[in-house]
Amino acid sequence: MKKTADLNACPIARAAGLVGDEKILLALRALFRGPQRFDELQKSTGAATNILSNRLARMIEAGIVSKQQYQDRPVRYDYRLTKAGMALFPSLLALWRFAEDWMPCEEVPPFALRHTTCGKLTRPGSVCSECGEPITTRNVAMERNEVAPPVSGLA
């Protein structure tokens, strides 16, 4: 069918077919903090068991998540991002920044982001707002907000 072919040819459409799902985005958000067990993912996504199973299966099939055994007795598994899954980091950072700018909320955000290269708190974006250097998964660390930290000099 022509319409389907056109949609598939577009990379944004392919990405939309994968991550155009609230629970998948919430699972990704959790997995960027590290490997997660099923019950941990259930807590952070608020997804019912069957929904979460379905979404994890889709993520595994798409190659962005792998299921790994982390314990022998009893046998226990967790879920972790593959290299392809890690490549969704800029997308989540962009969504983060969008929501901070355009979907304000009275509650203290649960995390701030520090750019470990320059050492400063930074806002999710494609470059560090403090030093202008590119941000990757390797040079940022998530920090839980105990209180809302003062974030200076952010555009």
Binding mask 44-83 for a copy of itself (x = CB under 8 A): --x---------------xxx-------------------
Q: Which residue number, 74 or 153, has a Cβ lying nearer to a copy of itself? A: 153
Q: Out of 93, 121, 122, 129, which residue is the one contacting a copy of itself (CB under 8 A)?
A: 93
Q: Which residues are paired to 114 by β-bridges?
A: 121, 141
Asked if 142 is part of the footprint of a copy of itself (rule: CB under 8 A), the reply reads no
Give the torsion through C-alpha atoms of 46, 50, 52, 57, to 10 deg: 180
Q: Which residue number, 110 or 150, has a Cβ lying nearer to a copy of itself? A: 110
Q: Is the Cβ–Cβ distance between 67 and 77 less than 8 Å?
A: yes
Q: Which residue number, 70 or 98, has a Cβ lying nearer to a copy of itself? A: 98
Q: Is the Cβ–Cβ distance between 52 and 41 less than 8 Å?
A: yes
- Least distance to a copy of itself from the beta carbon of 19, Å? 7
Could you tell me which stretch among 33-41, 65-73, 91-99, 114-122 binds a copy of itself (CB under 8 A)?
Answer: 91-99
- Least distance to a copy of itself from the beta carbon of 72, Å? 32
Q: How far apart are CA 105 and CA 101, in angstroms?
A: 10
Half-sphere exposure (Cβ direction) of 110: Cα atoms closer than 13 Å = 4
Asked if 100 is part of the footprint of a copy of itself (rule: CB under 8 A), the reply reads yes
- Least distance to a copy of itself from the beta carbon of 71, Å? 27
Q: CA nearest 56: which of 76, 90, 80?
A: 80
What are φ and ψ of residue 143, in 5° steps? Answer: -130, 130
